[in-house]
């Protein structure tokens, strides 16, 4: 099958962004049985990574954009323009490519994409209305009116985008229920987030009293929010009980605000981009996911659990995963409770071993690339047959 794969971010064979690594694994899997044409945005400093994925693609359409040094209103506008331009130009590729099917990743990639005669499916990594609603509900005063207007605009935009597609996949039943509660008359299904990292042979000795968070910070303000919330409100409580604790902040594009605040803390280590994220997952004792906004499946949590690294998460972080508190991971929404649960994992070896094992078994059994591949191929054939009857 000749497929145009449209990705808002560059698929990565190496790298620390969960979305990029997922796309890299998906690209490899789809290329085994299909002829893949890839259209993707790529940050200029990532151009060297394009070589890693060329062998999996019949052709690559690249849309470079400049590196974003810091997030502000101006850079936000540049990002929006980049999304719009990319989405608009994909129409031209679809019209000229004679594709059997168009597979789009991320909701924002479909903003200006037109509904075509060729079948189209969308994989929504997040329901973009959900964080907009959460920001609005958390707000107070005059700002709440502005955020309410943003929520309504986001919901209308998402509805407009999703109705263009023959099939829309979300990452969890929770997201599917939320989507349908928006009054959408669409063909919605659940496509679990597969685990694409291989921890076989990674048997590093764990560093005592170490904590880790991972994310892409330039692309996702929710990751910045999570790091600062943990460092400012939770980490001091942990240090008061375990003074030797160390907090690793791993991932691409730490912001100036992060550097300014965490740079003053000798117990916080900002690594920036690293090639071998598997080793970081395997060497730390606890992974934290203090997510305050967002949606979908937080893939970084799945990676940690597969690596046997116990996780402490907020309820929002666990929303799309569906782990059971104190069985697969620990859940806490209050800073004091969150800190206590991290301390308990660092102090209680039996608890650590139990959650390490149970978390790994849970993820291995539920999230696999085989499941994703089979569901996508079934959907591709189903949609093609359905369209042929029109």
For residue 276, is pLDDT > 90? no
Reply yes or no on whether the pLDDT at 15 is more than 70. Answer: no
Per-residue pLDDT band at 114 (split at 50, 70, 90): very high
- pLDDT tens-digit map of 115-161: 988 999 999 988 889 888 988 888 888 899 999 999 999 999 999 99
Distance (Å, whole) CA 323 – CA 330: 9
Q: How many CB atoms lie within 10 A of CB 134?
A: 18
Locate all alpha helices (DSSP H) within 182-234, ordered by sequence: 221-229
**What sign for the dihedral angle of Cα 192, 197, 203, 204?**
negative
Of the two residues 89 and 218, the one the predictor is more confident about is 89
pLDDT tens-digit profile of 66-81? 876 666 677 778 888 8
> Does pLDDT of 185 surpass 90?
no
What integer is the mean pLDDT of 179-190? 86
pLDDT at 374: 85
Q: How far is CA 332 from CA 31, 194, 304, 315, in A?
A: 41, 25, 17, 7
Q: Are 343 and 238 in contact (CB under 8 A)?
A: yes
pLDDT at 368 over 90: no
**282-310 pLDDT per residue, tens:** 899 999 999 988 666 688 898 899 889 99
Which residues neighbour 139 within 8 Å (Cβ) at sequence distance 6 or greater?
147
CA distance 329 to 301: 10
Residue 322: what pLDDT?
87
What's the CA gap between 268 and 272, in Å, rounded?
A: 12
């Amino acid at each position: 099958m000749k497929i145009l794969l449209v990705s808002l971010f560059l698929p990565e064979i190496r790298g620390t962004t969960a979305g990029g690594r997922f796309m890299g694994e998906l690209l490899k899997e789809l290329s085994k049985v299909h002829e893949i044409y890839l259209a993707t945005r790529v940050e200029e400093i990532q151009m060297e990574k394009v070589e890693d994925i060329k062998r999996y693609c019949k052709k690559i359409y690249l849309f470079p954009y400049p590196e974003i040094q810091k997030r502000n209103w101006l850079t936000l506008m540049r990002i929006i323009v980049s999304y719009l331009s990319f989405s608009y130009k994909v129409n031209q590729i679809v019209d000229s490519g004679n594709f059997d099917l168009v597979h789009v990743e991320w909701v924002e990639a479909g903003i200006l994409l037109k509904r075509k005669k060729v079948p189209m499916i969308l994989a929504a990594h997040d329901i973009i209305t959900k964080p907009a609603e959460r920001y609005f509900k958390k707000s107070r005063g005059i700002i709440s009116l502005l955020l309410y207007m943003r929520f309504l605009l986001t919901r209308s935009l998402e509805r407009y985008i999703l109705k263009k597609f023959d099939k829309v996949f979300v990452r969890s039943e929770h997201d599917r229920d939320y989507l349908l509660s928006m009054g959408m008359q669409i063909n919605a299904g659940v496509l679990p987030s597969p685990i694409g990292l291989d921890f076989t042979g990674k048997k590093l000795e764990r560093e005592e009293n170490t904590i880790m968070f991972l994310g892409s910070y330039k692309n996702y303000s929710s990751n910045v929010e999570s790091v600062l919330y943990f460092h400012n409100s939770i980490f001091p409580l942990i240090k008061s009980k375990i003074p030797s604790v160390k907090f690793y902040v791993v991932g691409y594009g730490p912001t100036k605000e992060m550097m300014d605040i965490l740079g003053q803390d000798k117990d916080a280590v900002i690594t920036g981009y690293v090639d071998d994220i598997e080793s970081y997952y395997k060497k730390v004792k606890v992974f934290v996911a203090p997510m305050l906004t967002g949606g979908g499946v937080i893939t970084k949590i799945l990676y940690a659990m597969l690596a046997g690294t116990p996780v402490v998460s907020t309820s929002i972080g666990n929303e799309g995963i569906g782990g059971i508190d104190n069985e697969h991971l620990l859940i806490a929404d209050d800073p004091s409770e969150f800190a206590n649960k991290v301390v308990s994992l660092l102090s209680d070896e039996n608890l650590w071993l139990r959650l390490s094992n149970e978390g790994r078994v849970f993820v291995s059994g539920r999230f696999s690339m085989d499941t994703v591949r089979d569901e996508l191929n079934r959907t591709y054939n189903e949609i093609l047959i359905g369209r042929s009857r029109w």
